[in-house]
Structure 1
Amino acid sequence: MSKTSKHNFGAGPCILPQTVLKQAADAVEHWDKAGLSILEISHRSPEFEAVIRNTEALVRELLDVPEDYSVLFLQGGASLQFCMVPMNFSQGSPKTAVYLDGGYFGQKAIKEAKLFGKVETIDWKQSKTYTIPGSAAYFHCTSNNTIEGTEMFSFPETPVPVICDMSSDIFSRKIDVSRFALIYAGAQKNMGPAGMTLVIAKNTFLDSVKHPLPSMLDYRVYRDNGSLYNTPPVFAIYTAMLNLQWLKKKGGVNLIARENLCKAQALYDEIDRNPLFEGLAPAADRSLMNVTFKIRNEALEPHFLDFAARRGLVGIRGYRTVGGFRASLYNALPYESVTALVNALRDFSNDQALEI
Structure 2
Amino acid sequence: MKHNFGAGPGILPHEVLKQAAEGVLNFNGTGLSILEISHRSAEFESVLNEAVSLVKELFNVPEGYSVLFMQGGASSQFALAPYNLLPDGGKAAYVETGVWANKALKEAKLFGQVEIVATAKESNYTYIPKDFTIPKDAAYIHITSNNTIYGTQMKEFFKSPIPVVCDMSSDIFSRKVDVSDFGLIYAGAQKNMGPAGVTLVIIKNDILGKVDRKIPSMFNYQVQIEGGSMYNTPPCFAIYVSMLTLRWLKAKGGVAGIEQENDAKAKALYTEIDRNPLFKGVCAVEDRSHMNVCFVVENPEHEKPFLKYCDEKGIVGIKGHRSVGGFRASIYNALPITSVHVLIDAMQEFQENNK
Query: What corresponds to 1:288 in structure 2?
Result: 290
Query: What corresponds to 2:330 in structure 1?
Result: 328
Deviation at 1:15, TM superposition (A): 0.5
CA offsets per residue over residues 281-306 of structure 1, 9 Å max, x none? 11000000000000011111010000
Query: What corresponds to 2:307 in structure 1?
Result: 305
Query: What corresponds to 1:34 in structure 2?
Result: 30
Larger CA deviation: 30-39 vs 220-229: 30-39
Q: Structure 1 CA distance, aligned partners of 2:350 and 2:287?
A: 27
- Partner SS, residue 32 of structure 1: helix
| Counterpart code for 2:284 | P
Is 1:75 the counterpart of 2:78? The answer is: no
CA offsets per residue over residues 225-261 of structure 1, 9 Å max, x none? 1000000000000000000000001110001001000
Is 1:123 the counterpart of 2:118? The answer is: yes
Larger CA deviation: 134-143 vs 123-132: 123-132
Deviation at 1:280, TM superposition (A): 0.7
Matching residue within 15, 18, 22 for 2:14: 18
Q: Structure 2 CA distance, aligned partners of 1:68 and 1:242?
A: 26
Q: Structure 2 CA distance, aligned partners of 1:194 and 1:158?
A: 31
Query: What corresponds to 2:2 in structure 1?
Result: 6
Deviation at 1:206, TM superposition (A): 2.1
Matching residue within 64, 67, 88 for 2:84: 88
Matching residue within 167, 170, 186 for 2:169: 167
- Partner SS, residue 200 of structure 2: strand
Deviation at 1:91, TM superposition (A): 4.4
When the two structures are superposed, what TM-score results if normalisation uses the length of structure 1?
0.96
Structure 2 spans left out of the alignment, 5+ residues: 123-128
- Partner SS, residue 193 of structure 1: coil
Query: What corresponds to 1:58 in structure 2?
Result: 54
Percent identity of paired positions between Structure 1 and Structure 2:
58
Deviation at 1:157, TM superposition (A): 2.0
Query: What corresponds to 1:102 in structure 2?
Result: 97
Deviation at 1:346, TM superposition (A): 0.8
Q: Root-mean-square deviation (CA), in Å?
A: 0.9
Q: Structure 1 CA distance, aligned partners of 2:205 and 2:92?
A: 20
Matching residue within 214, 219, 222 for 2:221: 219
Q: Structure 1 CA distance, aligned partners of 2:72 and 2:196?
A: 9
Deviation at 1:112, TM superposition (A): 0.8
Query: What corresponds to 2:108 in structure 1?
Result: 113
| Counterpart code for 1:46 | A
- Partner SS, residue 60 of structure 1: helix
Structure 1 spans left out of the alignment, 5+ residues: none
Q: Structure 2 CA distance, aligned partners of 1:7 and 1:181?
A: 37
CA offsets per residue over residues 122-161 of structure 1, 9 Å max, x none? 3342742000111111000000000000000112222111
Q: Structure 2 CA distance, aligned partners of 1:42 and 1:322?
A: 44
When the two structures are superposed, what TM-score results if normalisation uses the length of structure 2?
0.96
Query: What corresponds to 2:344 in structure 1?
Result: 342
Number of aligned positions between the proteins: 348
Q: Structure 2 CA distance, aligned partners of 1:73 and 1:209?
A: 23
- Partner SS, residue 261 of structure 1: helix
Q: Structure 1 CA distance, aligned partners of 2:156 and 2:267?
A: 19
